Amino acid sequence: MNKCPPRFLGHNPAGSWAIYLLLVLGLSIVITGLLAFGGEERQGPLAGLLNYPQGRFFHEFHEWLSWMMLGVVIIHLAGVLAESLLHRENLVMAMLTGLKSSSVNSISTLSHWKVGATMLVTIVTAGLFWFQGYLTDTPERAYQPFSWTGVTR
């Protein structure tokens, strides 16, 4: 029986699945939040797509997904702590710096820094595009992201 499980330089398989699950949950939370906001409040980019009961359903589903994501985060952090103690290394520092010492018994994974950098640039660009109105509004011409013709506030 092996007392010390294999050490990975990247995420171990369970950590990888947790990250994929967190990404899917994050996207699902955004989508259900937009659907709930559009159905219940008749606001946002999906306003009018759903009626109130449908919006209320997505509101409840949105809350359920949020609690599920919180649970996965807690489990993931517990896994990081357990792995840090098991292998006697500071995984939090390795996550922050991107550096982790290797040994002969480590299983190496490919470096994906180019993918990460591309994702970061894409997210920042999309964020600037999405919120450009807030960056360019003036007191004379306030930005109204979701305005409809004929609707006054």
Q: What is the secondary structure of 124-144 as a DSSP string?
A: HHHHHHHTHHHHH--SSS---
R_g of the chain, CA atoms, integer Å: 22
List the single range of 1-10, 57-66, 130-139 with lowest mean pLDDT.
1-10
- Inform me whether the pLDDT recorded for 148 exceeds 50: yes
CA 118 to chain centre: 16
The mean per-residue pLDDT over the stretch 103-123 comes to 73
Q: Residue 61: which residues within 8 A CB-CB, separation 6 or more?
A: 32, 36
pTM of the prediction? Answer: 0.64
What share of the chain in percent tops pLDDT 90? 33
C-alpha angle 27-32-35 in degrees, rounded to nearest 5: 130
Q: What integer pLDDT is reported at residue 107 of this predicted model?
A: 54
φ, ψ (nearest 5 deg) of residue 106: -85, 150
Closest by alpha carbon to 9, among 120, 114, 76, 83?
A: 83
What pLDDT, in 10s, does the model give residues 115-144?
A: 888 989 999 998 888 778 777 778 888 777
